Structures are given as C-alpha cells and as structure tokens.
C-alpha cells in the first residue's frame, strides 16, 4: 500500500460540516495499492468498513462480499505478479550487463518520465532524432493485465 504524505486542500461549498471536511480529507489521503482478496483480512485492516472504505481501496458489499471496484488480487495472482516482476528485473539486469541501455522514456496522459528526472539537464534525449521516441503507456483493464502477464510467463 502507498500512503501519500500530504496536507490536502478541500474544495467545498463553504457550508461543509467538520465531519464532511474530515471525510473529504480522508478520501484524498486514502491509501493506494493492491490488497489480498480476503474479506476477513480487509475487515481487519479497516474495522469500521461498511460499503467503501475511507482508508483502503476496498468496498464490502451488503452481502459481505468484496465490491467490484476494490483493488484486490487473489493469492494466486500475487504469486503470478511476484514471478512476473522477478523475471522482468532479471531480464532488465541481463540487458544492462550486456550494455544495452537505450534511452526509452515513457509518456502517459500528457506526462513523461523526464518531467522530474534529475538527468534532464545533461540527457541527450531529443525527439527530433528518429531513434529517440517515447514509449506510450495506456491504461489497461485489470483482466487484460493479468492475461498479458500470463502470456509472458508462457514464453
């Protein structure tokens, strides 16, 4: 889970009660990440959860099950993810060891990896050169991501 250290400014009508302001702040500070799809565990992480949690990305439905918009993965999926990341890191290290380090920054929704990069002043990345181009990232549905990872595993 990720918790953003922040002091959010809440926009409201000016007639918000203390409780509403508190809720709006909690919403802004809600943790992000991936939870184990285990309702018992989720209830331990947020003991007051009914409906959408204010602190973790999970929803518990009235029937006691987890809501569709919960950010969850099964134990099998966590294992798959760990295996995929391990292979990815191994492959990346292998490429670096071979001296294969092309400049390939990403671009996603108008932002790029160069935006906050401390190497920007000395970096040779230049989109006017045909071999320098961004890798475009697009959001994908969770199912698609799991299936792509499974395909990679089969290779």
Minimum distance from residue 85 beta carbon to ligand SF4 (Å): 21
Question: In the window 113-142, what residues touch ligand SF4 (CB under 6 A)?
Answer: 113-114, 117, 119-120, 123, 125
Residues with Cβ within 8 Å of residue 95, at least 6 apart in sequence: 101
Beta strands in 20-80 (DSSP E): 35-36, 51-52, 59-60, 72-73
Question: In the window 82-111, what residues touch ligand SF4 (CB under 6 A)?
Answer: 103, 105
Minimum distance from residue 117 beta carbon to ligand SF4 (Å): 3
Beta 106-108 vs 111-112: how paired, if at all? antiparallel
40, 38, 104, 116: which is closest to 77 by C-alpha?
38
**Residue 5 to residue 37: CA distance in whole angstroms:** 26
The tokens for 82 are 């760990």
Minimum distance from residue 151 beta carbon to ligand SF4 (Å): 28
Q: Determine if 67 is a binding residue for ligand SF4 (CB under 6 A).
A: no
Question: In the window 9-38, what residues touch ligand SF4 (CB under 6 A)?
Answer: none
Q: In the complex with ligand SF4, which residue's Cβ is closer, 92 or 123?
A: 123
Q: What residue ranges bind ligand SF4 (CB under 6 A)?
A: 103, 105, 113-114, 117, 119-120, 123, 125
């Amino acid at each position: 889970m990720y918790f953003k250290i922040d002091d959010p400014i809440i926009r409201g009508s000016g007639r918000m009660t203390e409780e509403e302001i508190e809720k709006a702040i909690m919403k802004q500070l809600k943790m992000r990440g991936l939870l184990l799809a285990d309702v018992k565990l989720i209830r331990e992480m947020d003991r007051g959860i009914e409906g959408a949690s204010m602190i973790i990305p999970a929803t518990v439905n009235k029937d006691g099950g987890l809501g569709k918009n919960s950010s969850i993965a099964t134990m099998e999926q966590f294992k798959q993810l760990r295996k995929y990341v391990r292979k990815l890191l191994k492959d990346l290290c292998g490429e670096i060891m071979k001296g294969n380090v092309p400049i390939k920054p990403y671009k996603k929704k108008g932002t790029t990896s160069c935006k906050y990069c401390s190497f920007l002043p000395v970096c040779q990345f230049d989109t006017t050169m045909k071999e320098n181009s961004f890798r475009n990232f697009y959001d994908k549905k969770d199912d698609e991501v799991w299936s792509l990872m499974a395909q990679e595993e089969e290779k």
